[in-house]
């Protein structure tokens, strides 16, 4: 259950990083590009952590 919550937090954190670049153009320098790509990476990592936690919880419940 802990991994599912951590995964959700990472997904929402990544989405917040992505949406924080919504009103800035990519000509503003390196920071919007880094936030956008980093947000995608954080959200994908959170997705895998959440799926892994859900699979682990499912295996534990069936015993």
pLDDT at 27: 66
**Quick one: pLDDT at residue 61?**
57
Beta strands in 1-63 (DSSP E): none
In eight-state DSSP terms, residue 20 is: T
| Mean pLDDT, rounded, of the chain | 84
Whole-number pLDDT of residue 13: 92
Q: What pLDDT shows up at residue 32?
A: 83
Which contacts (CB < 8 Å, 24+ apart) does range 35-41 have? 38/14, 39/13, 39/14, 39/15, 40/14, 41/14
Query: Which residue positions in the chain have pLDDT lower than 70?
Result: 25-27, 60-63
Is residue 59 a contact partner of residue 37, using CB atoms and an 8 Å limit? Answer: no
With CA atoms as reference, report the closest residue to 22 among 10, 39, 3: 39
- For tokens 């670049």, name the residue: 21
């Amino acid at each position: 259950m802990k991994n599912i919550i951590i995964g959700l937090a990472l997904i929402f954190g990544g989405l917040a990083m992505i949406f924080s670049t919504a009103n800035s153009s990519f000509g503003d320098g390196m920071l919007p590009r880094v936030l956008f790509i980093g947000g995608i990476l954080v959200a994908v990592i959170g997705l895998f952590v959440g799926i892994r936690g859900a699979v682990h919880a499912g295996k534990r419940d069936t015993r």
